[in-house]
Amino acid sequence: MYEERIAIIQAIRNSIPNFEHYKDFTKRCLPFLQAVLPGYTVYLNVEESPLGYNRYELKVWGKGAAYGEIQKEDAVTYQNPVSLYWSSMQDSQPVKWQDGLRGALDRMDPTDSQERELQERELIPELEVLNKQVAILIRRARSLVRELPIPKSATLRNKDTYWKDASSKLRKEFPILFDTDIK
């Protein structure tokens, strides 16, 4: 999914010189965007705010992702391949639509995330070993607690089920060992 998003964003960036001379970002910019994004649906909307500024919306979908389809890539969920939003005002200062569009493209560009994930791949073998070691240590800590006898003073809570886990005090003191999902 990153590749498609990056390609769409780059195509939009490359097309900006063809229509950046327009005073306003309107539907007349649409043919330039459609020309660099064949097979995609390009949606453009400009809303005039009652406060005197414009809100811009540019969405691109098709090919790899239908509009409204939720696609999951690791922990990221994308509604559309690209949805860009910007305003003609930023920090109470007017912003040219060209600068706003470039800023929206920069915010939506996942190139840095893709690069980071590639860097992280090199760590996977070592992290797998560390993950197994940590899981062993967590299980050992929990086993130590389970091996403790039921307190002799326990009357109402004298069942094994109550005493098989660490106390809240121990959980607070050693959260990595006792407050994780590892079984």
Tell me, what's the pLDDT at 3?
Answer: 86
* pTM greater than 0.85 (yes/no): no
Cα angle at 75 between 73 and 80, to 5 degrees?
Answer: 50
Nearest to 25 by CA among 5, 6, 4, 42: 42
**Does 170 or 182 have the greater pLDDT score?**
170
pLDDT digits (tens, 9 = 90+) for 8-66: 999 999 999 999 999 999 999 999 999 999 999 999 999 988 887 899 999 998 876 55
pLDDT averaged over the chain?
Answer: 87
